[in-house]
Amino acid sequence: MPAQETLTVAVRVKPGASRTRVGGRFDGPHGPALVIAVHDPAVDGRATEAARKALAAALGLRPAAVSLRVGAASRDKLFLVDRPGPELSELLRRLRDGSAE
């Protein structure tokens, strides 16, 4: 079976948090979503960019491997992860469940 080229990750962004945190689950419009709290405000895409970088860091990837697919002006977003390894699906599940912190 060939390696998966991209993985879509549903995310709920909470801007204006006291610190950046990746973990938790939110049942949003795109299904179960990973919660990412960021310090940056929801102005001029700053929270989206901070969430993109936080997601990449949580997955152990370079930021360029994560891109926004849907939700530039929404708290509910879909990110694409390029060339994810097989362990990323399990890590995402653990982050959503709060067991990877």
pLDDT of residue 3: 53
Domain of 90, in residue numbers = 6-97
Q: Which residues contact residue 70 at a Cβ distance below 8 angstroms, ignoring those fewer than 6 apart?
A: 30, 77, 78
In a domain, 1, yes or no: no
User: What type of residue is 70?
Assistant: V
Rounded to an integer, what distance in angstroms lies between the CA atom of residue 98 and that of residue 25? 8
Cite the beta strand spans of 1-101 per DSSP E: 6-14, 21-28, 31-37, 66-70, 76-82
> What is the tally of structural domains in the chain?
1
Rounded to an integer, what distance in angstroms lies between the CA atom of residue 68 and that of residue 62? 14
In a domain, 91, yes or no: yes
In a domain, 60, yes or no: yes
Summarised one tens digit per residue, pLDDT across range 32-68 is 999 999 999 999 999 999 999 999 999 889 999 999 9
The CATH number given to whatever domain includes residue 70 is: 3.30.1200.10
In a domain, 73, yes or no: yes
pLDDT of residue 92: 79
pTM, full prediction: 0.87
